[in-house]
Structure 1
């Protein structure tokens, strides 16, 4: 199922550092240097007459609870027609680096809360799976925590009739040196961002 971007519509990318990608916070229109910028740029290059507007409200370090806390200001107040969410890797990462876990039930509760509010806007939802490209055995162990969260996102996509962008599967299926996609297992290289952007563009199409 694809998400239709209405003519003249507003598309919001929101999430953690992978979405943030160094965006200039002083400029509300800056898309950073990652997949959000690439997807917005290519969509516009392909459909210049569609005149869609793209916004980025990624914040580095965010977990789903942080996204919930700022959802009113950074999502609902902007009244987007399409909302693209990528969140979850910090909910796993901080279990292992800060001994501060987020269990799958709490993750699902907070994620569902933001989707319920957005659904009432009538916005089209695009859910991008959290992902991991493990570079060593320690990071491979993180899958035990991340996999249930990926499954939560997949179930919520079905529950809310959202478009799912299955990038976790995409990275796992790509048969290349893992360091092509990321240098730390979490943050994409430009090539990794391009892979996400391509998947996003396959999932989002201009409305007639």
Structure 2
């Protein structure tokens, strides 16, 4: 297990992380975890590693983009003094170009703004934590010519580049999803190509747990 004992692990992102969490509940409490991959990870760590006393916190908010994370980074991340931070953001930064294309250009998150803002979050955090996990945004899509998917690929590349540049752990969730879609339909994991169902959330949780060095046999 690569996570030190008695650590606080904070997950932040958009609706893929949020998944119905209770915003009013105390960070780390059952209702605050939502019903997605964060809750699954918390359950696995609690059940299999009872002696580690790990606290999991969920700070995902529906619809968030990287610029939204920046606005709440101090209160929702730094003030909670986590030991590890997991960031999954980017799908809405791309999606808004397609579902709200008539917004003023300054209201859309360009690739450059995405990179600059993401780097700022890393700069504010890296020296204060034991580890940062950067997760690639993803789609449950097999059509490589899909316009939104093609644009998302650029944002995925930025996340990977930032992980390498800052020597952070990178989890390519698109690779995880693509491997599954080689054998099964995307509808097994998602109804809209973006939001995972419980099968999809288990896939994400499993990828993260592997990166943490989790072993079911413990």
Q: Alpha-carbon deviation of 1:134? A: 2.8
Q: Alpha-carbon deviation of 1:70? A: 0.5
Does the CA contact (< 8 Å) of 1:104 and 1:149 recur in 2? yes
| Secondary structure in structure 1 of the residue aligned to 2:22 | coil
| Secondary structure in structure 2 of the residue aligned to 1:56 | strand
Does the CA contact (< 8 Å) of 1:135 and 1:185 recur in 2? no
Q: Alpha-carbon deviation of 1:135? A: 7.7
Aligned to 1:52: 54
Aligned to 1:118: 125
Query: How far, CA to CA, are the matches of 2:10 and 2:163 in structure 1?
Result: 17
Q: Alpha-carbon deviation of 1:144? A: 2.1
* TM alignment of 1:158-173, pairs within 5 A: 158-173=164-179
Unaligned runs of 5+ in 1: none
- 1:45-73 per-position Cα deviation (integer Å, ceiling 9, x unaligned): 11110001000000000000000111001
- From 185, 198, 211, the counterpart of 1:177: 185
| Secondary structure in structure 2 of the residue aligned to 1:142 | helix
Unaligned runs of 5+ in 2: none
Aligned to 1:147: 153
Count of residues paired in the alignment: 203
TM-score by length of 1: 0.93
TM-score by length of 2: 0.88
In the superposition, relative to structure 1, how do residues 150 and 9 fare at CA in structure 2: closer, same or farther (>3 Å)?
Answer: same
Higher relative contact order (CA 8 A, sep 6+): 1
Aligned to 2:140: 133
* TM alignment of 1:1-208, pairs within 5 A: 4-28=2-26, 29=29, 30-99=32-101, 100=103, 101-134=108-141, 140-174=146-180, 175-205=183-213
Does the CA contact (< 8 Å) of 2:85 and 2:129 recur in 1? no
Q: Alpha-carbon deviation of 1:128? A: 1.0
Query: How far, CA to CA, are the matches of 1:152 and 1:131 in structure 2?
Result: 13
